[in-house]
Chains A and B, each alone.
Chain A
Amino acid sequence: MPDHAEDEAKYYDDPEWADIEPIQQADQGPNPLAAIAYTDEYAEAMAYLRTVMARDEKSERVLRLTKDVIEMNPAHYTVWLYRAQVLFATHADLHKELEWLNETASQYQKNYQIWHHRQLIVSRLCPDPASSAATRGPPFPGAGIDVDSLVAKETSFVASMFDKDAKNYHVWSYRQWLVRHFGLWDKGELEFTEASIEKDVRNNSAWNHRWYVVNGKEGSEGVKEEKVREREIAFTKRQIRLAPQNQSPWNYLRGILRKANLRFSTVQDFCIEFADLSKPEGDDVFSSHALDLLADIYAVDEGRNEQAKRCLLLLKDKYDPIRANYWQYRLEMLDKEMGSGIDSHLPEHETRNLTSAVSV
């Protein structure tokens, strides 16, 4: 451990912390694994953190200390939980906490604890947005919160995070939670996904969010409902026409068909727009994903097995050689088993070459 009489010691020289006996790290015999060259600053803050944690102290100074530790080690898996308890116990201003989280989240974009903590704070501020008693929450400065302004702040913060990284997994997960918690299903969320997709038609996270907004509400039928389905299929087709070689909307389309239990042949003509096999080979394919879907459409129809094979061969040899082995595998499946698209029911395993021992 570093010598705490160093000039830079932050806590050791501070009279406010004089009552604390810092707990040095009990590492670890002669051969510790994965030892890290701790900075003096980190080692000191952690030593004080261990002491206050062991005392389960809930005080304002602990808020400063936990903040200090989090800024150096945001993946600490108990310091966030501890901090939340201290915040609540000391009736700290949770709006200020959110402001601090705004800065920290921008700094540590890959950290998930920050988002979990944020969710905890916002839930505390507004435990039950549906009831008018959003003010029923625990007492804290400024209790009696304006739900709409909280939601506006949160969504605009999320939007600013998307400006930094439009595919940040944690931010999208948090956005889903906001929608669920505050019931934002019909409050412009679909339009938000549309704008995100317009900004980048290849943003798969935005497509996934759209799926959530359309299908994720409890009790909602989503694309099983005809009106919704038609709207979604039309939207997806429009996006595919903009960029046919974009896997996201093709997956989305396949998802709609599967969820609504529609035959894939429903979109056969649409697929042919991008892969017309009646034309001389190769010149009229604008999307490998159209060929992929066509192969499935033909595969479930025994009479057109040869056409399915042709799609798979084109993919293998010409339009998607990066996955040549996969298309070869699909060809073999087709040979072994008539009528097997990848969306058919799980086939009898005995008929497939997939039954040799798996590793575990």
Chain B
Amino acid sequence: MSCTYSSASVLSSPDTPPGLDKKRHTRYWLRCLRTHLPSAYIPNDSNRMTLAFFTISALDLLSSLVPNTTPEERAAYIDWIYSCQIPSGGFRASPSHDLSAVKDGSAQWDPANVPATYFALATLLILGDDLNRVRRKETLKWLRCMQRDDGSFGETLVNGKIEGGMDTRFGYCATCVRYILRGKREGPDPTSEEQDTDVDALVECLRKAETYDGGMSEMPFHEAHAGFTYCAIAALHFIDRFPWPIRSQPSEGQRAFNKMPLRKEGIVSTTSSEQQGGIKTRGLTSPDLTIHWLASRLTATISSEDEEDTYADETDTPETCHDAHSFVHTANFPTSMGETSEKSRPTSHFALDWVGFNGRCNKVADTCYAFWVGAGLTLMNASRVIHPTPVRRYLLEQTAHIVGGFGKLPGDPPDVYHSYLGLAALSLLETAAQAAHESPREGRDKPVEERELKALDACMCVSIEAKSRLYAIWQRWGVHDGKDWDGGG
């Protein structure tokens, strides 16, 4: 097992997880903010709004944004984001696509982009902008045009045609844009009178992409994938169609939906009479199996070398992995609970010190899936099905890099994408660990100022603090009476 970084850090014992080197990570992100990203990022030039979001949100999670930037700088960042807004609604993903300077030119090849619009709005929230300059009505109108008849969302609209694959990532980003601009409530927007997107159709579309093993994919029959699974779960939250009640006292309607549309097989459509009765189709036909699928993503196979069949102790192929063997070896291996009682470290070569997540069945772990899976479980209200410490150690001792940031695999150089999702995952783990100690016997809540990272909103993937700014914005827009505000977090 390769372990490049752990040698440089003090190995922690199983019950005292290592600390996050906030200074180092802050330095990494300030470098991303202040200097040009290297030319190796040219293939990501069309995702600059995404990279911008990662940079600003990472500094926010580290509580390093305000202390390290001036109000003038933050105002300039806000201006830069607005410079990517398209007059007819939405944002472009990079100034390199900007054709607005051309007189008499055609703007069709400079369309707004769905993910970029989510990342732009989220980054504006983090920077403390009031969203006053957002072309709200136009963006809502454009968003509706981005939805296909089958309920899915595309990426861009070119010449009236929706482009981009069927992909739950676009559905996720679109529902988040809808949520930021008009909350969860369905129906025409009261202020702009802009029609709503077709929420029922999206639910159907997400349900059809459920796979036989309990995961979700981008479209029917594609392989279950943790990224798509997260996107579908989070989208269902944004449109308030998640199958479990989100408040402790479920309403009559909520009680009824559990009985009515959720069957193991097939897709149950919402009929108009159900609509009239206030019962809406919910997503996820088998939430328990989805939790099972998500929990199955935990793996001790954390580097590609682990995939080699070093032990040749089972009839299989070169593509095998540790997990496939672990049961043979873990037969006399103490569990994490056993460990504490025996006060000894495991001697097996299959140490459970480091546990990561893979994105698909029988694949190697990867930093980013600690977020996709961890956040998915959080949104399923099941984060306690993972033990936070070994995952935390995997991130901090295996994929964190000496210069700050995280790589994809142990020893990999950091990149902006894995560096952000690594932090996001750590924030959720911190929340989960706190929750686990909340029982009166074991301890109490950590006050906010004692947290390592700001608490993350698992659905919007920004700090709860940033998300909470929406409340005042909604009130100003008059789209929200405060009753269905869930307080963030």
Contacts and interface: CB of A to CB of B under 8 A. Distances in A.
A247 interface: yes
B244 A358 contact: yes
Contacts of B448: none
20 contacts: A25-B95, A26-B95, A31-B80, A36-B41, A37-B37, A50-B98, A54-B109, A172-B222, A204-B362, A211-B221, A242-B316, A288-B327, A346-B243, A346-B287, A349-B250, A350-B250, A354-B382, A357-B486, A358-B237, A359-B379
Interface stretch (B10-18, B19-27, B333-341): B333-341
Contacts of A54: 99, 102, 105-106, 109
A287 B330 CA distance: 12
A108 B459 CA distance: 31
Contact of B264 (A242, A251, A258, A318): A258
Nearest to A115: B165
A356 interface: yes
Interface centre among A33, A259, A346, A357 (most CB of B within 10 A): A33
Contact of B212 (A36, A172, A258, A319): A258
B249 to A, nearest CB: 9
Interface in A251-287: 251-252, 254-256, 258-259, 261, 282, 285-287
Contacts of B243: 346
Contacts of A211: 212, 221
B55 A167 contact: no
Interface of B: 32-33, 36-39, 41-49, 51-52, 55-56, 73, 76-77, 79-81, 83, 93, 95-102, 105-106, 108-111, 113, 123, 155-156, 158, 163-165, 211-214, 218, 220-225, 234, 237-238, 242-248, 250, 258, 262-265, 286-289, 291-292, 295-296, 298-300, 314-321, 323-328, 330-331, 333-338, 352, 355, 360-363, 378-379, 381-382, 384-387, 390, 416, 457-460, 464, 486, 488-489
Contacts of A251: 212-214, 361
B72 to A, nearest CB: 9
Interface of A: 23, 25-39, 42, 46, 50-51, 53-56, 72-78, 81-82, 108, 112, 116, 166-167, 169, 172-173, 176, 199-205, 208, 211-212, 215-216, 242-243, 245-248, 251-252, 254-256, 258-259, 261, 282, 285-288, 316-326, 329, 340, 342-346, 348-350, 354-360
Contacts of A345: 262-264
A165 to B, nearest CB: 11
A46 B218 CA distance: 31
Contacts, number: 334
B59 to A, nearest CB: 11
Contact of B37 (A35, A112, A247): A35
A25 B98 contact: yes
A70 to B, nearest CB: 10
Contacts of B323: 245, 247, 322
B316 A246 contact: yes
A39 B39 contact: yes
Given A173-B222, A248-B362, A357-B486, A329 B44 contact: no
Nearest to A76: B46
Given A25-B96, A243-B316, A343-B288, A36 B45 contact: yes
Contacts of B338: 317, 321
Contacts of B247: 357
A206 to B, nearest CB: 10
Contact of A245 (B238, B248, B325, B489): B325
A360 B457 contact: yes
Among A28, A321, A345, find the residue whose CB has the most chain B CB atoms closer than 10 A: A321
B340 to A, nearest CB: 12
Contacts of A176: 221-222
Contact of A242 (B36, B315, B360): B315
A35 B457 CA distance: 27
Given A245-B327, A318-B331, A326 B385 contact: yes
A203 B362 contact: yes
Contacts of B352: 321-322
Nearest to B257: A346
B76 A30 contact: yes
B330 A38 contact: no
A26 B105 CA distance: 15
Contacts of B123: 33
A76 B111 CA distance: 12
